[in-house]
Amino acid sequence: MGQSHGQSSENPMMAHACRWALGVIGLALLLTGCSNVRPVAKIGLIAPFEGLERRTGYAALAAMRQAIAEAPPHTVGIIPLALDDSADPTRAHRTAEKLLRDPQVKAVVGPLTPLLTASVSDTLAATALPWYAPYAVNPAGGFADPHRDDGWARGLVAAVGAAVRRQGATALVLAGDAQGWPAWDVATWSAIAGLPVRRLTGADSATETLSAGDAIFWLSGADAAAAFLNALPAELAELPFWLGPAGGDPILTEHAKIDRKLYWLTWSSLPYNDWAATHSPSTPFAYLVYQATRAAIEAVTGSAATTATPWRVVLFEVENGVSRVYTP
């Protein structure tokens, strides 16, 4: 009987303690749930995740994730949505259409090259979504409309023209697929480059149309550039050979069977060195994707930066597979 009496006197206290504990746990769960319920905005990334160029795509995704992780807290939750274009124009077009079918996609970064951007330009330009091609900077700061603006191309062409003149070239020969670059006539190219420019067409024989005094500016991808270099006759192998941002792609030196310096140039800005010291991947390409993602986040959240950091063209030379800053 005594034992029975003791149990009856303790049960109300135990029940009260249990109810209190459950209430605390329930409140904690409720608060946790409330803190995580935010509207979600996706930033689409169009990049190659299959095929030869897949390393470029995964480097872009890593840079995008870093930019999202380091963005200031906001009432909108930002997540990446990465879709493969296999560095193929037809696939890129289908990928852009697929992205636009997701109502949570509020901005798009990519494609990563002018050639692929040309294949999605009409599709993405027809939407109201903020769209950033990492190479298509506004030289004064930020990014430009890759469908209409050509400041990014003018800056690169002017810089490569000045560099090859200092290397002793008397003419600049454009090679590779020019889709996605501005449709300038030869006179405009020449005026921007500061020396005579001509176009090397697919039907041309390099042996017949290239000569001493020429410098080559390659307008498309690294793999095709390597194939072009491998086919150059020995007597033309020392012509200055320049690329745009594709020159930083490791495919170039992995596939080019040559023993010579190559040159390339891209856009960067003064904060790059500090950024590279604390990020991986830390290439100029990754920096462009990181900054394009930051611009997309600012557009989605309405928290645009009050000041813009100007871009500048940086030149590189490649020797034995290693890129270093080049001063002509």
CATH superfamily of 40-147+270-311: Response regulator (3.40.50.2300)
Q: Give the N- to C-terminal CA distance of the chain in Å, as an integer.
A: 101
* CATH number of the domain located at residue range(s) 151-268+314-325 in this protein: 3.40.50.2300
Per-residue pLDDT at 13: 53
Residue 72 backbone phi and psi in degrees, to 5 = -60, 150
Compute the half-sphere exposure of residue 10: CA atoms within 13 Å on the CB side of its CA.
Answer: 6
pLDDT of 196 above 70: yes
Who contacts 171 (Cβ-Cβ below 8 Å, separation ≥6)?
Answer: 195, 196, 197, 198, 213, 214, 215
What is the pLDDT at residue 38? 79
The pLDDT assigned to 206 comes to 61
Which segment, 26-35, 69-78, 304-313, is predicted with the most confidence on average?
Answer: 69-78
Task: Kindly report, residue by residue over 276-320, the tens digit of the pLDDT.
Answer: 999 999 999 999 999 999 999 999 999 876 678 999 999 999 998
Residue type, 178: A
CA–CA dist 119, 114 (Å, integer): 9
pLDDT given at position 32: 45
Q: Looking at the chain, which runs of residues are DSSP E strands?
A: 40-47, 77-84, 105-109, 131-132, 171-175, 197-199, 214-218, 241-243, 262-268, 312-319, 322-325
CA distance 56 to 276: 17
Q: What is the pLDDT of residue 87?
A: 96
Q: What pLDDT, on the 0 to 100 scale, is given for residue 303?
A: 84
pTM of the model: 0.87
CA angle 146, 147, 148 (to 5 degrees): 95
Q: For residue 304, what pLDDT is reported?
A: 72
Q: Does the pLDDT value for residue 137 go beyond 90?
A: yes
Q: What is the DSSP letter of 264?
A: E
Identify which has the larger pLDDT, 260 or 3. Answer: 260
Confidence of residue 36 (pLDDT cuts 50, 70, 90): low
pLDDT at 79: 97
The answer to whether residue 25 scores a pLDDT higher than 70 is no
Is residue 46 scored above 70 in pLDDT? yes
pLDDT digits (tens, 9 = 90+) for 2-23: 444 444 444 555 555 445 444 4
**Separation of alpha carbons 23 and 17, rounded Å:** 10
Choose from 28-42, 63-77, 195-209 the range with maximum mean pLDDT.
63-77
- For the stretch 143-177, pLDDT in tens is 999 989 999 999 999 999 999 999 999 999 999 99
For residue 22, what pLDDT is reported?
47
Whether 40-147+270-311 shares its CATH topology with 151-268+314-325 is answered yes
Model pLDDT for residues 84-132, shown as the tens digit of each residue: 999 999 999 999 999 999 999 999 999 999 999 999 999 999 998 999 9
Backbone phi and psi for residue 174, each to the nearest 5 degrees, phi listed first: -85, 130
Tell me what pLDDT residue 31 has. Answer: 46
> 24-38, 68-82, 214-228 — which is least confidently predicted?
24-38
Question: Domain ranges in the chain?
Answer: 40-147+270-311, 151-268+314-325
Digit-coded pLDDT (tens) for 204-248: 556 578 999 999 999 999 999 999 999 998 889 899 999 999 999
Residue 205 is predicted with a pLDDT of 58
